[in-house]
Amino acid sequence: MINETEQEEREYLEEIKEKLSLAIKRVEDAVKGFSGELREKNQYIHEHRSGMDEADMVAAGQSINRMTFTGEAAVARKRKLLKLVQSPYFGRIDFIPHKQETSPVYIGIYSFMDERVRINLIYDWRAPVSSLFYDFELGEASYLTPSGTIHGNIALKRQYKIRDGYMEFMIENGLNIHDDILQKELSRSSDDKMKNIVATIQRDQNRVIRNEEARVMVIQGVAGSGKTSIALHRIAFLLYRFRDSIAAKDILIISPNKVFADYISNVLPELGEAHIPEMGMEELAADLLENKYKFQTFFQQVSLLLEEHDPAFIERIRFKSSFEFLGKLNQYLIHIENNYFSYSELRVGKTTIPFPVILEKFKAYHRVPILKRFALVVKDVQTYVRDKTGHKLTGQQKAIIWEAVPAMFKFNNVLDLYKDFYNWIGQPELLKIDYRMGLEYADVFAIIYLHIRLEGLTTYDHIKHLLIDEMQDYTPVQYAVLSRLFLCRKTILGDVSQRVNPYSASSAEMIERVFPQADIIKLDRSYRSTFEITAFTQRIIPNPNIAPMERHGQEPVLLRFESKNEEVEAIKGMIAAFKNSANQTLGIICKTLLQAEDTYQSLQATGVYLLTAESISFKEGVIITMAHLAKGLEFDEVIVPFASAGNYITEVDKSMLYIACTRAMHRLTLTYSRDITAFLST
């Protein structure tokens, strides 16, 4: 057995670092070689251009492309090696497959092979054998490979913390003391962006990451349970496992906003994968509606809910977020199919086409979306007339048919049908279209749904995996659209308790009704916040299943003041204290954007950033924002101002308060004037 003692491990680390440095040197030489060759080739082409025919030019172009490609691969490899030198591995297992010899398996963020002897010195965390590290302690163990299960025994398991090439500590795992390193990781102050968790992936998380079977995986996890982290690691795993068939460009992340997209943008590149395309729901909607309609954004919908309590608006949202709505839309589609084709006989010249003939043609195309059938029926009618008369049709006759056939259907555009739907259900008051403001957000996906069902769709066939974060914010109609657009595998994640809109929250069970084949996974362990913070947030929205980490810190603080001005003055003091502390990020999270803007103005402090719906990047330091925009983010410290009885009143407010408080990792302070909100008064 090699490296039995810590001293031996330290020496081994030096050896590996040396090998890595040599590998870096070799790649550098190769890159230099490539660029030299490329220069020469370009020069050659330039000088001999006149004497080259087309085939020569194509061949030269191809060879340049090949060289560039190999050069780029070498640069990417160098980037990985440079990262490995900093921290070559984080774990080791000595696994003895039955009746075989063992050699230690060192596990790191990427694999590294000693090319001369072709021995793997470091295994990628996604390699089949690496799953042993996450799934087992000492003793009997097994792992799955593409060619079957390997059984054996783990004789030794170690964890290392190597930073900047230096081993900070090493832990010998006897029984499950995994938690030690996890605790240390969670106690650290946050970076400006989400980081990878490869060294401390937990067993239940590993199961989700490495699941290869699920066509639709729905992860319902409590705040801070690592849903987003796991989903990103799962993508990295799938890219590794199916590297011959899936590339980063074949994946799409549907994310709630640009700041969140920026916040998570580091994880996959850190894991050695390319940047993944990302899109917001609104972008998708605009794309599908071909930018024909102006519409309210989800952010505007939530802001309206927060700023004015309009019962009619709430009722419209509530109805359009229900399964009943989707069911009614489907019934309506049957209704129009059966009833909206009106009787009229068509006469073209001397030929009469009886209505039953037209109707029969129309029904024969039942697989084609209704509004797409007209063109087919028109062609059939033309053939009918031609056969009857034995003549080709004149342009005028064709025009008569083109006009008459679509006119037999009551409506020929989706928006008119959508308006008609509300008359059909006898509730015209549920549709409000303000042409100046655009469509309400709750109508956007319903119109897209009708559009798909009535006119067909362009599917996103090139996407091979779809990741949907913040699933609770999307409605059954939205899922019905997504399920028709994206036929690929999906990972859908969220938390019903973090709905920004309590009138339209989707739970895992609701999503299962749209995707009956879904695998549902529940994660109840919360990693982000200290035990005290998690316990505190339970006062707002209790979840009996939540399992907080045994990581302790300061009790959350509730500070009472006489006025808002006093609150703001106190917050100034807290910002100064934060700047002198070891913490790196402070989030001041208000209920509305208006409040955030006001606070920002009043504070007038340098180094404080206001995060709005238009922001595109996450910044380290002090951030002021509203709860809706803070979703998915986390901060070392969180201050929730104005937690007063007069500010947090409605169900929507309660969700916002919960989201704001669950963003805190180590420290949470709430300030209020006079009376505290009823959500915290007990």
Ligand X SMILES: Nc1ncnc2c1ncn2[C@@H]1O[C@H](COP(=O)(O)OP(=O)(O)OP(=O)(O)O)[C@@H](O)[C@H]1O
Q: Is 662 in the site for ligand X (CB under 6 A)?
A: yes
Binder among 226, 256, 280, 548 for ligand X (CB under 6 A): 226
Q: Is 229 in the site for ligand X (CB under 6 A)?
A: yes
Which residue's Cβ lies closest to ligand X? 226
Structure tokens at 481: 């659209």
Q: Using CA atoms, how far apart are residues 198 and 49, in angstroms rounded to an integer?
A: 52
N-terminal to C-terminal alpha carbon distance within the chain: 60
Q: Are 253 and 261 in contact (CB under 8 A)?
A: yes
Q: Are 385 and 421 in contact (CB under 8 A)?
A: no
CB of 197 to ligand X, least distance (A): 4
Binder among 91, 272, 280, 632 for ligand X (CB under 6 A): 632
CB of 206 to ligand X, least distance (A): 9
Burial (CB count <10 Å: 0-12, 13-18, 19+), residue 310: exposed
Number of Cβ atoms within 10 Å of the Cβ of 682? 5
Q: Is 404 in the site for ligand X (CB under 6 A)?
A: no
CB of 329 to ligand X, least distance (A): 30
Q: Is 221 in the site for ligand X (CB under 6 A)?
A: yes
Helix (H) or strand (E) holding 217: strand 216-221
| 682 is known to lie in a ligand binding site | no
Length of the chain: 682
Structure tokens at 487: 């036929």
CB of 147 to ligand X, least distance (A): 29
| 613 is known to lie in a ligand binding site | no
Q: Using CA atoms, how far apart are residues 406 and 482, in angstroms rounded to an integer?
A: 29
Binder among 19, 227, 489, 591 for ligand X (CB under 6 A): 227
- 8-15 contacts: CB < 8 A, separation 24 or more? 9/158, 9/160, 9/167, 9/170, 10/167, 13/88, 13/162, 13/167
Q: Which is nearer to ligand X, 80 or 631 (CB)?
A: 631
Q: Which is nearer to ligand X, 196 or 647 (CB)?
A: 196
CB of 201 to ligand X, least distance (A): 5
Number of residues located near ligand X, criterion CB under 6 A: 23
Q: Which is nearer to ligand X, 197 or 500 (CB)?
A: 197
Torsion sign over Cα 259, 262, 268, 273: positive
How far, CA to CA in Å, does 487 sit from each of 175, 289, 515, 626?
Answer: 44, 19, 11, 35
Q: Of 286-305, which residues contact ligand X (CB under 6 A)? A: none
- Considering only 1-9, 216-224, 413-421, 424-432, which stretch makes contact with ligand X by CB under 6 A? 216-224
How far, CA to CA in Å, does 369 sit from each of 12, 325, 341?
Answer: 66, 20, 14
| 129 is known to lie in a ligand binding site | no
- Considering only 44-52, 195-203, 311-319, 411-419, which stretch makes contact with ligand X by CB under 6 A? 195-203
- Considering only 179-187, 210-218, 422-430, 508-516, which stretch makes contact with ligand X by CB under 6 A? 179-187
Residue 313 corresponds to which amino acid?
A: F
Q: Which is nearer to ligand X, 88 or 221 (CB)?
A: 221
CB of 259 to ligand X, least distance (A): 13
Q: Is 141 in the site for ligand X (CB under 6 A)?
A: no
Q: Is 521 in the site for ligand X (CB under 6 A)?
A: no
Q: Give 308's contacts (C-beta < 8 A, 6+ positions apart).
A: none
Q: Are 134 and 93 in contact (CB under 8 A)?
A: no
Could you tell me how far CA 106 lies from the centroid of its own chain?
31
How far, CA to CA in Å, does 591 sit from each of 134, 570, 629, 653, 655?
Answer: 40, 18, 10, 7, 10
- Considering only 24-32, 198-206, 505-513, 581-589, which stretch makes contact with ligand X by CB under 6 A? 198-206
Q: Which ranges of 91-150 would DSSP assign to H, the alpha helix?
A: 131-135
Q: Is 130 in the site for ligand X (CB under 6 A)?
A: no
Q: Is 201 in the site for ligand X (CB under 6 A)?
A: yes
Q: Are 105 and 92 in contact (CB under 8 A)?
A: yes
| 650 is known to lie in a ligand binding site | no
Q: Is 185 in the site for ligand X (CB under 6 A)?
A: yes
Q: Which is nearer to ligand X, 37 or 185 (CB)?
A: 185
Q: Is 186 in the site for ligand X (CB under 6 A)?
A: yes
Task: Residue 80: name the closest of 120, 111, 125, 105 by CA.
Answer: 111
100: left (phi over 0), alpha (psi -120 to 50) or beta: beta
Binder among 3, 228, 472, 625 for ligand X (CB under 6 A): 228
CB of 269 to ligand X, least distance (A): 16
Q: Is 270 in the site for ligand X (CB under 6 A)?
A: no
Q: Which is nearer to ligand X, 230 or 348 (CB)?
A: 230
- Considering only 39-47, 225-233, 562-570, 666-674, which stretch makes contact with ligand X by CB under 6 A? 225-233
CB of 482 to ligand X, least distance (A): 20
Q: Which is nearer to ligand X, 444 or 657 (CB)?
A: 657
Structure tokens at 591: 């209920």
Q: Which is nearer to ligand X, 337 or 524 (CB)?
A: 524
Burial (CB count <10 Å: 0-12, 13-18, 19+), residue 321: buried
Q: Of 492-511, which residues contact ligand X (CB under 6 A)? A: 495, 498
Q: Of 591-620, which residues contact ligand X (CB under 6 A)? A: none
Q: Which is nearer to ligand X, 270 or 597 (CB)?
A: 270
Per-residue b or e along 99-132, where b marks 16 or more CB atoms closer than 10 Å to that residue's CB: eeebebbbbbbbbbeeeeeeeebbbbbbbbbbbb
- Considering only 194-202, 322-330, 365-373, 637-645, which stretch makes contact with ligand X by CB under 6 A? 194-202
| 419 is known to lie in a ligand binding site | no
Q: Which is nearer to ligand X, 218 or 401 (CB)?
A: 218
| 225 is known to lie in a ligand binding site | yes
Residue 176 per-residue DSSP state: S
Could you tell me how far CA 485 lies from the centroid of its own chain?
16
Residue 387 corresponds to which amino acid?
A: D
The radius of gyration of the chain's CA atoms, rounded to the nearest angstrom, is 31
Q: Which is nearer to ligand X, 205 or 296 (CB)?
A: 205
CB of 525 to ligand X, least distance (A): 8
Binder among 361, 465, 528, 628 for ligand X (CB under 6 A): 528
Q: Is 225 in the site for ligand X (CB under 6 A)?
A: yes
Q: Which ranges of 474-515 would DSSP assign to H, the alpha helix?
A: 476-485, 508-514
Q: Is 205 in the site for ligand X (CB under 6 A)?
A: yes
CB of 443 to ligand X, least distance (A): 28
Q: Using CA atoms, how far apart are residues 543 and 128, in angstroms rounded to an integer?
A: 36
In 71-199, beta strands by DSSP E: 91-97, 105-108, 112-114, 119-124, 139-145, 148-163, 166-172
- Considering only 178-186, 331-339, 620-628, 671-679, which stretch makes contact with ligand X by CB under 6 A? 178-186
Question: Which residue carries 């040396």 as its tokens?
Answer: 18
- Considering only 146-154, 181-189, 290-298, 602-610, which stretch makes contact with ligand X by CB under 6 A? 181-189
Binder among 81, 109, 122, 182 for ligand X (CB under 6 A): 182
CB of 552 to ligand X, least distance (A): 16
Q: Which is nearer to ligand X, 205 or 644 (CB)?
A: 205
Q: Which ranges of 365-507 would DSSP assign to H, the alpha helix?
A: 370-389, 395-407, 414-424, 441-455, 476-485
Mark the binding-site residues for ATP, compressed into ranges: 221-228
Mark the binding-site residues, compressed into ranges: 221-228
Catalog residues that contact ligand X under the rule CB under 6 A.
Answer: 182, 185-186, 197, 200-202, 205, 221, 223-229, 495, 498, 527-528, 632, 634, 662
